[in-house]
Structure 1
Amino acid sequence: MPLLRNALTCSLLALVSHIATAAEAPAPVQSLRPLLTTLNERLNIGDLVALTKWDSGKPIQDSPREAQVIASARTLAGEHKLDPEDVAQLIAAQMEANKLVQYGLLAQWQAAGHAPDTPRPDLAKQIRPQLDELQNRLLRQYADVAPYRRDPNCPVWLAKARQGLTHDALHDLALTRATGELCIRAAGV
């Protein structure tokens, strides 16, 4: 009987410990929200990039710059204990989402015959340094959500965390694109 009582006591202690640990861990939606807020901030900078492209007439697609950004992200992946390929995919998704915003805004402005009359920051001196800083923050936050990426509930948590972040349909679609590969589905699902 003492052996059975010890086994039950150990099992009960393990269960209580597990519950206490789970209670201390932040909820998945709360863990995803900082990352999604940063991704949304990055998309909003896309509005400024679109203004500079409107003014300069330069194309939105900038393959050499994209390759440089992805290479830099791969290098930083190790500092955050992240897989360089996962990081490359994440950053590529951010750039695709950002271009979606830029193409959408340019189309709106072309239809209207003008862009908004707002201050234009310098792309190289002001906008790109902001994007570089956001990339570092993004990688830290991406590392924080790594434990949730394979959970079957990840898409639901992601949808809840995305709610209310954007201000229009274009940015909502772009944020959906930016987060498209965050959750990893099990094979055959």
Structure 2
Amino acid sequence: MPAVAQPRHPASVPSAADGLDLLTDLFAERLLLADKVAAAKYGTGRPIDDPAREQKILDDVAARAVALGLNPDAAAAVFRDQIEANKLVQRGLYTRWDADSEERPTQRPDLDKEVRPALDRITGQVLNVLVATQDVRAAPSCELRLYGAAVWSAYGHELDSIHLKGMERALPSVCARS
């Protein structure tokens, strides 16, 4: 399992210049938590997909986005991408673990006490960064800058191929489309 690196920037209010870096660092951190989610569910019969829980998260994000002055649909789209990226990583890990029993997790993390509080913390941080980066995310250069930031975050967090695919899946809704 890759080690979780610390974000390169404080998680308070970033400047627009470093905001995309912080955003992709948070995405990487969230993707690495997918390992714990997968380990908690693997072999239990609990499905990776949980539409009711996913909708609850998206509804909460939309409500919080309104309070922060963000477009709730755009914020929900970013988090829908995060959820799908997380599920992509979980499926990749399941495939890896099914193929090689030596790779299987030896501990089952507690989703409610250990994993979800970390995910909730990241959710709040991502929403704050989305607020701080509204201008840069609307700029024509956003996609280029976002993918550059994602490369650095992937490198800094030592993402493997499964998590790299997750990072790619996490990005599409970040930049505003004209």
After TM superposition, list the pairs within 5 Å mapping 1:177-188 onto structure 2: 177-186=169-178
In angstroms, what is the RMSD of aligned CA positions? 1.8
Unaligned runs of at least 5 residues, structure 2? 1-13
After TM superposition, list the pairs within 5 Å mapping 1:92-107 onto structure 2: 92-107=80-95
Unaligned runs of at least 5 residues, structure 1? 1-24
TM-score by length of 2: 0.83
Name whichever structure is richer in helix by fraction. Answer: 1
Asked whether 1:133 is paired with 2:125, we answer no
Moved over 4 A (4+): none
TM-superposed deviation, 1:181: 1.4
SS, match of residue 152 in structure 2 = coil
Asked whether 1:155 is paired with 2:161, we answer no
* Number of the residue aligned with 1:85: 73
* Number of the residue aligned with 1:14: none
SS, match of residue 148 in structure 2 = helix
* Number of the residue aligned with 2:61: 73
What is the alpha-carbon distance in structure 1 between the residues aligned to residue 177 and residue 60 of structure 2? 27
- The more displaced of 163-172 and 130-139 is 163-172
SS, match of residue 98 in structure 2 = helix
TM-score by length of 1: 0.79
* CA distance 1:113–1:124, shift in 2 (3 Å): same
What is the alpha-carbon distance in structure 2 between the residues aligned to residue 112 and residue 155 of structure 1? 37
**Preserved CA contact (<8 Å) 1:74 1:87:** yes
- Matched letter for residue 39 of structure 2: L
- Structure with bigger RCO (C-alpha 8 Å, 6+ apart): 2
* Number of the residue aligned with 1:12: none
Residues 102-142 of structure 1 show CA distances to partners (whole Å, capped at 9, x for unaligned) of: 00000111111354344332012221111111111110011
% identity of equivalent residues = 34
